[in-house]
Structure 1
Amino acid sequence: MYSGDVSDIKLIQFDLDGTLIDSVLQLWQAVNQMLIESGHAPVAEQHVRHWVGNGADMLVQRALTHALGHSPSAALQHTARALFDAAYESVASQEVVLYPGVIDTLSQLKQAGKTLALVTNKPYRFVPKVLAATGLDQYFSLALGGDSLAQKKPDPAPLLHVCHTLNIAPAQSMMVGDSENDVLAAKAAGMAVVGLTYGYNYGKDIADSQPNWVMNNIAGLVELLRPH
């Protein structure tokens, strides 16, 4: 649990989906393509919005469980995951929407001398394309996907890996995300955490996870981290 001084923060680690970009449209399209090709009916966007956050395997599993009424077999899961990946590959970087204030906030933090990194549970193969398509790639010193390490959030390992790689202590790092996975990972890593209210958190209030700060707009980071 973080108990430091926010003025000591040098490194800010960001989640991607639901934090910097609203990617539900693309994920919804890919999920429905996978379901249709698997012989099931497509689902409403709102379903997918509640299923996002634990990586592609869990997204596919939740969609199949919804369609079948029970958990899929390992073989079906494997086949469906391949279908999802192929579908998402074709739409992942198309018309991706950035949340308000993202570019300006990242730019100001960078100008203030902060080191920025990305830690997402999205499979890494999709990450560089999405970052390039949105212009986000220029801001991050390091980017990790959900399969970059053996563990993914809510395990603290990816956050600690970023700290180790960039040689900045966890006590001087902050995690910014929209789901309890981000909060749990940050707390376990001993770093500060900001919870954003507008993303994907399985229909729950991010405040319930008790991050150090709750924000309705990512632009609040600039004021929080400004030297006083």
Structure 2
Amino acid sequence: MFDLDGTLIDSVPDLAAATDKMLVQLGRAPAGMDKVRNWVGNGAAVLVRRALADHFEHQEVSAEQEAEALAIFMQAYAQDNSLTTLYPGVIDTLKTLQKLGIKQALVTNKPERFLPGLLEETQMAEFFDWVVGGDTFPQKKPDPTGLLWVMEQAGVTAAECLFIGDSRNDVQAAHAAQVACVAVTYGYNYGESICAQNPALILNDLRELFL
């Protein structure tokens, strides 16, 4: 099982562009990539709330403000993913796992509506037997619901699974599902080192999985 943003793809340039379009349309200053990089990971609604608050904490943002901004963000993000790129070794890794007969799944907090087109554009659609988006279930990572659903669909136990991600949400979801977690160092983890989350293994490149 794989996370998407920060693990397989670098989507921050497009997320930042959509966030800034949303902010400008609302008469606010753009946030820029550096801020957005530290805000992603909890789904589109939380990203929008953090952008409105211009801070990681976003309690003062109202539901009405969120709804208005989220609609603008979703429209902007749906228009263009041209700046999103695959990380090195991703396709090689997915192909190797496929050749080994290992079933693969995607469990991401990105809204489900964006996944089919994005997977096609990045040539990853053929590799995943199951895809779980951030709104497929009421719960998002770090809740383990998505991982547990994939395990049920695949008919496997936690001991037969591996989850690969880049953030504390991924490690916590894997721990909650009692699944071993591999973490990559190059993704998004709110500006913090992923080592502090104690994943089972840490990789600088997905291809290191086979070393």
2:204 to 206, 211, 216: 216
Matched, 1:75 2:64: yes
- In structure 1, runs of 5+ residues without a counterpart are 1-12, 224-228
For 1:175, what is the secondary structure of its paired residue?
strand
Alignment check: 8 A CA contact 1:15 1:176 kept: yes
Superposed displacement of residue 95, structure 1? 3.7
1:62-97 per-position Cα deviation (integer Å, ceiling 9, x unaligned) = 000018x972211111000000000000013x2421
For 1:14, what is the secondary structure of its paired residue?
coil
**Counterparts of residues 138-177 of structure 1 (less than 5 Å):** 138-177=126-165
2:94 to 60, 85, 106: 106
Change over 3 Å in CA distance of 1:70–1:58 after alignment to 2: closer
Letter aligned with residue 82 of structure 1: A
Q: After TM superposition, what 4+ stretches of structure 1 lie above 6 angstroms from structure 2?
A: none
Alignment check: 8 A CA contact 1:57 1:81 kept: yes
Length-normalised TM-score, structure 2 = 0.96
Superposed displacement of residue 169, structure 1? 1.3
- Name which structure has the greater RCO, CA cutoff 8 Å, separation 6+: 1
* Superposed CA RMSD: 1.2
Distance 1:33 1:95 in 2: 15
Alignment check: 8 A CA contact 2:183 2:199 kept: yes
Distance 1:52 1:95 in 2: 16
Distance 1:130 1:178 in 2: 19
Query: What residue is the counterpart of 2:11 in the other structure?
Result: 23
Letter aligned with residue 145 of structure 2: A
Letter aligned with residue 146 of structure 1: G
